[in-house]
Structure 1
Amino acid sequence: MTDFALHDLKCFDAVIRTGSFQAAAAALHRSHPAVFAAVARLESQARLQLLDRGGYRVKLSDAGRSFHERMQPLLSEAEGLRQHAAQLAMGEESELHVVLGDLCPRPAVLGLLARFFSKCLHTRLHLHFETVGGPVERLKARDADLMFHRVDTTDPSLEWIALRKVRLIPVAAPSLLPASLARTLRPEQLRDYTQCVMRDSARAPRDEQFLVIEGVHQVTVADQFMKKDVILQGLAWGHLPDFLIDGEMRRGELRSIAGRHFPGHTETVVAARRIDGAHGPVAQRLWAHLQASCGRTSSSSLPYVS
């Protein structure tokens, strides 16, 4: 048995999809005899009768049905390879890797990405989720083309587009802390209470303790959503991004413990990429899409985008 030709498999598939040799020939821009010969050759090589030609319309034999089902992954892979080769020939990327950090307002950013990639059907988006120092580490290691998180805006190796400011509010469930502490609270008064903190997903985390009270008992979680759940249950207090707790704050399920001595913190979430990276056509179009949607590129001054 010789190897099957891709052309013959595609002709056989077209006959089944269109219902006749004539329609298959038109769909493939081939002659009727060429399609007929291709299917006959396939049957000869497989030593199977793939089609039942006894009726008005050709239909699959039992063996042909099984054969047709089994060959679908091969046709799909062949089409994917064809598209990949076409992209490479055009210089376009077949895939892009994007990292979302824990401060990223996910619905808004995912919406931006969805609108862009709906028009880039042949570029596969790989999404990664990292926390604390993980997003920047992945970007600098060239494991990602683009990152949505906070950055050191003085870092000369990065360029960025400001998306929005995010306020990190120290909050607690009403049952955790006495109401009398609300506005006079000092950080050292929280040492008797457990603080919920985020685990750094970086492979080589830095020693910095971001918004962590020194000497306090900690419970560590993997993401902001788990952190919110822990705080809502009164198991700990902690800083949470404003966009994640708006409803809980309005309903009184969480209350801010920010005050004159414990103000919270504001970060600017950006889209960032390496300045020295090799950015292909799709990556460049995505960057322009973000600029048009969110603001302007900067590496020195930081515009505020609400």
Structure 2
Amino acid sequence: MSVDESYQDDGLKLHDLRCFDAVVRTGSFQAAAAALHRTHPSVFAAVGRLEARLRLVLLDRSGYRVLPTEAGRSFHAHVGASLAEIARLSAHARLLAGGEEPVLRVVLGDLCPLPVVLPLLSEFFAGVAATRLHLDYEAVGGPAGRLRHGTADLIFHRAEAMAVPVERIDLAEIRLVPVAAPGFLPPHLGPDLRPDQLRPFTQCVIRDSARGGNEDHFLVPGAHPCSVPDHAMKRELILHGMGWGHLPDFMVAGDLEAGRLVRIRGRHLPGGVEILAASRRSDLPHGPVAERLWRHLRARFPGR
């Protein structure tokens, strides 16, 4: 009997495929059992059953770490795609069965101007009775990570390339301005600073809230960094002469006008421009409230 005939006659159990996928991802039956909240014998039996049905040896069990065979690697690539598609179908079915989603998960990034975004959300959710807004804050790579891992329905953050399919609505341009408190830098450095001249001075930076994240934006090599959770804290430290750093223009316009902060931008410190965008996964289903919110944003920013 061929593998195709065996598949058609007996079928492949979803449980067996999930167990095989977990073993490949974790490298052991024990770890796979823990990840799936199953017993070690049940996972071992499931993979054995799958190999028997396929008449293939999928795993090399001879070493300390369980590794896929050549056939196992090829088969696992298709298993991963199939499990992802099943998850999407299940999520879509739950949306169809449940009507309006009970919770909409929105993440605000560190570059998000609250006076722009919060009125949009407030206006929209004032007309939504059955869906609760779950609002979170993440910094640097955190919002994209939440979208990538499927723990956010929508993020407001810088537009950037991601490892998953994403669609976005551009909302605004955010200019990042290098600033310091008056007198923080000695006058002999001059108005056109180079990054290497700033190495002796503390640089305030935002901590990356992504799991395992280590993105560095504008970090001067060799400078002593002082990490903070958000731009509000960063602004306070800079105002008190405890460091210098880049801050969004909407946050420092009043400080610059009043002389509480000074620009240190020059040819070698030009700052930067980021696009603030609303982004969501384009490969996952979205509930009716999420779709209405997306249309609400699209109507407010049609030309971006």
Which TM-score tier does this pair reach, normalised by the shorter chain? 0.5 to 0.7
Structure 1 residue 147 and structure 2 residue 145: aligned?
Answer: no
Q: CA deviation at 1:260?
A: 1.1
Q: CA deviation at 1:215?
A: 0.5
Q: Confirm or deny: 8 A CA contact 1:182 1:259 kept in the other structure.
A: no
Q: Confirm or deny: 8 A CA contact 2:177 2:271 kept in the other structure.
A: yes
Structure 1 residue 158 and structure 2 residue 166: aligned?
Answer: yes
- 1:39 aligns to what? none
Determine the C-alpha separation between the residues in 2 that align with 1:156 and 1:203: 16
- 1:23 aligns to what? none
Opposite residue 136 of structure 1, the aligned amino acid is A
Q: CA deviation at 1:276?
A: 0.7
- 1:168 aligns to what? 176
- Where 2:151 maps in the other structure, the secondary structure is coil
Over aligned residues, Cα RMSD in angstroms?
1.7
Opposite residue 216 of structure 2, the aligned amino acid is Q
- 2:224 aligns to what? 217
- 1:261 aligns to what? 268
Q: Quick one: which of 164, 185, 203 aligns to 1:195? A: 203
Q: CA deviation at 1:182?
A: 5.0
Q: CA deviation at 1:291?
A: 0.6
- 2:28 aligns to what? none
Q: Percent identity?
A: 52
Structure 1 residue 239 and structure 2 residue 276: aligned?
Answer: no
- Where 1:99 maps in the other structure, the secondary structure is strand
Unaligned runs of 5+ in 2: 1-94
Give 1:84-95 correspondences, 5 Å limit.
91-95=99-103
Q: CA deviation at 1:295?
A: 3.0
Determine the C-alpha separation between the residues in 1 that align with 2:176 and 2:100: 39
Give 1:1-306 correspondences, 5 Å limit.
91-153=99-161, 157-179=165-187, 181=189, 183-206=191-214, 208-295=215-302, 303=304
Q: CA deviation at 1:90?
A: 6.5
- 1:40 aligns to what? none
Q: CA deviation at 1:213?
A: 0.1
Q: CA deviation at 1:151?
A: 2.8
Q: Confirm or deny: 8 A CA contact 1:99 1:144 kept in the other structure.
A: yes
Change (3 A) 1:204 1:154: closer
Opposite residue 124 of structure 1, the aligned amino acid is R
TM-score, structure 1 normalization: 0.66
Change (3 A) 1:217 1:90: closer
Opposite residue 254 of structure 2, the aligned amino acid is G
Q: CA deviation at 1:178?
A: 2.8
Change (3 A) 1:119 1:182: farther
TM-score, structure 2 normalization: 0.66
Q: CA deviation at 1:179?
A: 4.0
Unaligned runs of 5+ in 1: 1-86, 297-302
Opposite residue 96 of structure 1, the aligned amino acid is L
